[in-house]
Structure 1
Amino acid sequence: MKAFLILLMLYPFAEIAALVTLAGHIGGGGVMLYILLSALLGIFMLRNQKIGALMTLGSLMNNGPEISLYSLLWPLRYTLAGVLFIVPGVISEIAAILLLLPLKGPKIAMAARPAPVQADDIIEGEYHRVDEPADPNRRLH
């Protein structure tokens, strides 16, 4: 747990060091443009995250009773990648790209669907109709 906390505290410094190194290679304007474009990409992904849910539903329909765990978690991965694209930095961009890779995971067997009820089933029984006697004084003329 301590190692995770130390890595979490060192993450911003690693991002800054990566951005400074990148700025040394392509210049400050290029890095600012890179950060702006990646943030716009992240915003676009978050605004259109319904696509991830639709892709998961399409996968369920195409693959039948078995589906990959990674494709089931696709909407969550897509949303997290969008957030990581908004965070400025090279390391977060690499993590977002890794989340968007189409990985195959273990298969999950879905429960079998119940058989549809046939409409021509016949239920036999007896009934009789009980009507209240009509009052002859109560008419609508």
Structure 2
Amino acid sequence: MRGLLLLLLLYPFAEIATLVAMTDAWGGGVTMLWIIVSALIGIAMLRNQQLGALLTLGSLMHQGDQVSLYSLLWPLRYLLAGVLFLIPGVISDILALLLLLPLKGPSIKRPTMPPSAADNVIDGEYTRVDDPTDRSRHLP
């Protein structure tokens, strides 16, 4: 727990240090262009996130019995990568690119649906046979 807290406290300083090193190596204009382009990529990813999730889930429904766990988590990974692209810095951009890698994870078996009541229908013909009624028992 302490390690995670320390990592969260050191992360902004590591991002600033990488930006300063990048500015020192390539110049301020290139660094500013990097930050602006990565933010625009993040905004575009977040705007198109709903369509991507819908297409991913639609394609998973047409696959066979085996579905990859990573492909089920793709919409979440895509959303997190978009947020990481919005954060200015090189480390967050590298983490976003790692999230976008097409990894093939462990397969999970899709649950099969039990047969519905519509599958148990028997086709046939019928005629209704009523008992003969006594007309004398009717009210006049």
TM-score normalized with structure 2 length = 0.81
SS at match of 1:83: helix
SS at match of 1:35: helix
Shift of 1:88: 0.2
Where does residue 56 of structure 2 map in the other structure? 56
Distance (Å, rounded) in 2 between the aligned partners of 1:112 and 1:127 = 42
Greater CA deviation, 50-59 or 97-106? 50-59
Tell me how far apart the structure 2 counterparts of residues 126 and 30 of structure 1 sit (CA, whole Å).
Answer: 86
Count of residues paired in the alignment: 128
Contact 1:42–1:84, Cα closer than 8 Å, also in 2:
yes
Secondary structure at 2:111 match in 1: coil
Whether 1:7 and 2:4 are equivalent positions in the alignment is no
Q: Determine the structure 1 residue equivalent to 2:24.
A: 24
Task: Quote how far apart the aligned CAs of 1:126 are.
Answer: 5.2
Q: Distance in 2 between matches of 1:2 and 1:118?
A: 57
Structure 1 stretches of 5 or more lacking a match? 129-141
Matches within 5 A, 1:1-141: 1-115=1-115, 117-118=118-119, 121-122=122-123
TM-score (norm 1): 0.81
Identity, % of aligned pairs? 59
Between Structure 1 and Structure 2, the one with more helix by share is 2
Please state how far the C-alpha of 1:65 moved relative to its aligned partner: 1.7
Q: Structure 2 regions of 5+ residues with no counterpart? A: 131-140
1:57 deviates by 1.9
RMSD of the TM alignment (CA)? 2.3
1:19–1:89 Cα contact (<8 Å) kept = yes
